[in-house]
Structure 1
């Protein structure tokens, strides 16, 4: 018999906010400024990772001299703040799932690979801060996703056991983090994709609108 779900932990990018296209724009622009032509597929290969991990990943492959990795991280974050404030919009079904979980007294948290600066930018833009009991960033963890730390800390802050938490994710790294945390994990991969990795999840759905209260039982 599976454990009763008492809390839902949301990823943010590509799950709460339609930000994956914005991340691609920010990364492609930032890398172009230092002489590299990035593609959408290159950006997709690191989706769900912390931005410092993304930059470190590409530095290992490309080995540029300047700017420093930290400077490039800050450049990308600043570009993202601009993109979110100008173009940010919620993913379909966000209002529906928040209302559904509230009606059923389910606690909610955000556990994101993004920095607190970007999380605050998003929740202010979408006006959703009041609905979440916990907001946590992987920048405060030693390791980002697929390490489970960000989800385990969120559960601890909620006062819930991992087995009583359900994770909502859109990326492979995020799904693996949820599974590594021993949490029931539902994935909503980017539209028009049907990735092989999603088969490891508890369920794959197309939109937050497809979330059913039965998934908590």
Structure 2
């Protein structure tokens, strides 16, 4: 089976690692400091945003003016909390089917990159024993504009040396998916969240990801466009 793509670019939280709940816990930590209510729905809407953008959104719930310095201090506090949580991660915290999917991509000589808003991405991948599988890791420190801007995905493709139209990008967050859809990459949306319906291919779970199913999805979309 010929492969219609040369690279797959992964988001991390909610795609590679089962860490969405940990972000929620870290965000709740800040929300309690500010005495505001923070729901799982709000957490979902902030997925893919940088740490400071996330904290500023939580601060906005107070209805009060918050300085850049306060946002910076709260961001550092949130990061400390999150780092404590990810220190407990093990390979069992990789999402279903991810190890086998990455193995298949490697066997097919498909390049693999990570495009994550989290500066803690290398730590998480190391805890999951997956860091050596990735050819390129791009986080918000390597780009000028974070998600929903497409820069992080285009940078990953450029570093891999692969044309963007030969890349697949996989996301579970609305901000990230919005970024992918501004490129000519094939977009895969993970999860049942309504925003994922905009993807070229939506899967309910990472268990559905395989080299065969992905090739079929890409070919089906291409044939539809002809």
> Common fold, TM-score beyond 0.5?
yes
Contact 1:169 1:187 in 2 (8 A): yes
Distance apart, 1:195 and its partner CA:
2.8
Give the whole-Å Cα distance in 2 for the aligned partners of 1:182 and 1:131: 25
Structure 2 partner of 1:209: 207
Equivalent in 111, 114, 117 of residue 107 of structure 1: 111
Contact 1:96 1:209 in 2 (8 A): no
Structure 2 partner of 1:59: 59
Give the whole-Å Cα distance in 2 for the aligned partners of 1:43 and 1:93: 24
Deviations 1:50-109 (A, max 9, x none): 111112233344335577111111111111111111246111111111111011110000
1:131 has 2:129 as partner = no
1:95 has 2:99 as partner = yes
User: 1:10-49, aligned counterparts within 5 Å?
Assistant: 10-49=10-49
Gaps of 5+ in 1: none
1:69 has 2:67 as partner = no
Displaced runs of 4+ in structure 1, greater than 6 A? none
Deviations 1:134-193 (A, max 9, x none): 01102332221111000000000000111010001111111111111221011112xxxx
Give the whole-Å Cα distance in 2 for the aligned partners of 1:120 and 1:102: 19
Give the whole-Å Cα distance in 1 for the aligned partners of 2:179 and 2:20: 18
Q: 1:187 aligns to what SS in structure 2?
A: strand
User: 1:110-121, aligned counterparts within 5 Å?
Assistant: 110-115=114-119, 118-121=120-123
RMSD: 1.9
Contact 1:111 1:151 in 2 (8 A): yes
TM-score normalised by length of structure 1: 0.89
In the alignment of these two chains, the number of paired residues is 209
TM-score normalised by length of structure 2: 0.86
